[in-house]
Amino acid sequence: MYCPKTPQAENRCQILLNAAETLIEEQGVISFKFSDIAKVANCSTGSVYKFFESKEDVLICLFLRSATSNCIPDFLDIHPELDDAERFLVPILMTYAVITKSPSFTALRSVSVNSKVWTLASCEKVQRFKVRANRFFDLIMEQAKSAQQSGMLNESDERLLLLSQLIYFQLYGQTTAYESRLINKLPMENKDRAQMDCILAIMSAFNWKVQLTPERYERVFKQVNQFISVGTKNKLTCQQCQKVNASLKNNLTK
């Protein structure tokens, strides 16, 4: 299923995605019906099938237009004053901020990354999804590598990979655990503090020239939240999404 090529088609596609997002917020990722998108968008079922072959296609597109990796490069560009340790925090804190702004994003991400879901989407959307999912992990690795090259982080390449993996696994598990609201000893009012303590504990196990303090962590987090709250980077349009993926694919082939 190919993405829209004209402004008119793109606008219709965004209307359908907005309708699907409304259904998810009201009914949940699992419960909402693909057929109900047409009702909410006030269009025919045939119009929906022009853009999406299945519910899985819709979930992938919703993930792509709200993915955390969309925001990170722009934030780093407007905050050149951050040192390498603080820049390493940005993918982490951007994830926390995006989830706070859009609570349904955690559920959407958890379902979309399940191989029983994304493998059922159309081929083009699967390819875009793979590129974007890998991009987030690469952004974490890139910040670690930059810190190594500047002398801020004195670790081997193998240890850089370990650090990136620990952060990635921590992010996924931590956000999922809080979203579930199942664990009594994970009260929401302590979430920000617990998240910070866990991330700083992981980072402190590695040889940084200057260890991050809670004060520096909170300062960067405040900047990230301000960036998200003012809408500096809104959800991607179809055209912007295609450009992002084209750019990433070009970088991979260089």
- Terminal C-alpha separation, the chain: 27
Residue 1 is assigned to a structural domain of this protein: no
138 and 93 both lie in a single domain? yes
CB 70 within 8 A of CB 128: no
CB 241 within 8 A of CB 65: yes
Q: Which domain holds residue 56?
A: 7-60
Residue 208 three-state SS: strand
Predicted TM-score of the model (pTM): 0.86
Write the pLDDT tens digit of every residue in 14-55. 999 999 999 998 998 889 999 999 999 999 999 999 999 999
93 and 180 both lie in a single domain? yes
53 and 72 both lie in a single domain? no
**Whole-number pLDDT of residue 112:** 85
Q: Domain ends where: 43, 60, 77? A: 60
125 and 17 both lie in a single domain? no
134 and 179 both lie in a single domain? yes
Write the pLDDT tens digit of every residue in 147-188. 999 999 999 999 999 999 999 999 988 887 777 777 887 788
Residue 116 is assigned to a structural domain of this protein: yes
CA dist list (Å): 49 to 44, 65, 242:
9, 19, 20
CATH number of the domain to which 22 belongs: 1.10.10.60
Least confident of 2-11, 32-41, 163-172, 220-229: 2-11
102 and 184 both lie in a single domain? yes
37 and 135 both lie in a single domain? no
Residue 220 is assigned to a structural domain of this protein: yes
How many C-beta neighbours within 10 Å does residue 210 have?
10
Q: How many domains does the chain have?
A: 2
Q: Which residue in this structure is represented by tokens 């994003």? A: 105
Residue 2 is assigned to a structural domain of this protein: no
123 and 171 both lie in a single domain? yes
Residue 80 is assigned to a structural domain of this protein: yes
How many C-beta neighbours within 10 Å does residue 59 have?
27
Residue 87: CA count within 13 A, CB half-sphere = 24
